[in-house]
Amino acid sequence: MKPITVLPPGEPMAAFPPVAQALDYPNGLLAMGGDLSPRRLMYAYRKGIFPWFSEDQPILWWCPDPRAVIVPQELHISRSLNRILKQERFSVTHNRSFAEVVAGCAAPRSADDGTWITPAMQQAYLELHAQGHAHSVEVWREGCLVGGLYGVAVDQVFCAESMFSRESNASKVALVHLCRHLIERRFALIDCQMPNEHLLRMGAKTLSRQKYLKILGEFN
């Protein structure tokens, strides 16, 4: 088994090991420890690394292989979702209620669930938002926030972190509007991190770690 690099808080950014050293199982685990300072987070994202850990764990840093991505122009919109969009039952905003979106994503999905978006993680992304790096999409119905998503813009790649829905299809509507927004701004990819069936149905595909990092490197 490969050793895991332990990052002390405040360690120079170069303390991240080469991503080729990430574990095969669990897929992509690269390092632990360090801190969630804006400087470290942005350095990590530019290297294809992201934090993901539970409340009872140290900070864990990942760079999985393969990587799930969505090309904004290739998002799959089903007939039923297209009908919902045409009905305009929802209104959508950008960066209007970032903290509320993060809190919505952090809320446990059921009474038995925990959350990986810990208070420390929430504060870290609020700081990134204040610096202009992190962004949100909000979905509203009758003045109430019913869904949304947030993530980090790294040059022409949007690193999606999480989404939530309090009403059926609200998070899908947020994703559609995100893609439209990114197309207007000529973004190349949405980084979805780990593949899952929901994302694949929406048009996500997988890239090798090497291919993803090559694309990411073209913009920074």
Q: For residue 43, give its domain range.
A: 5-65
Domain boundary among 25, 47, 65: 65
Same-domain pairing of 48 and 80: no
Q: What is the pLDDT of residues 13-58, one digit of tens each?
A: 668 999 999 999 999 999 999 999 999 999 999 999 999 999 889 9
CATH number of the domain residue 128 falls in: 3.40.630.70
**3-state SS record for 60-94:** EEECCCCEEEECHHHCCCCHHHHHHHHHCCCEEEE
List residues bridging with 165 in a β-sheet: 147
Q: What count of Cα atoms within 13 Å lies in the side-chain half-sphere of residue 202? A: 21
CA angle 110–115–117, rounded 5-degree value: 140
In angstroms, the CA 206 to CA 211 distance is 10
> What H or E segment, with its residue span, contains residue 217?
helix 209-217
Do 96 and 135 contact (CB within 8 A), yes or no?
A: no
Model pLDDT, residue 219: 75
Main-chain dihedrals φ then ψ at residue 84, nearest 5 degrees: -60, -40
Same-domain pairing of 35 and 103: no
CATH number of the domain residue 20 falls in: 3.30.70.3550
What total of structural domains would you count in the chain? 2
Helix, strand, coil tally for the chain in percent (to 5): 35, 25, 40
Q: What is the pLDDT of residues 101-141, one digit of tens each?
A: 999 999 987 544 556 899 999 999 999 999 999 999 999 99
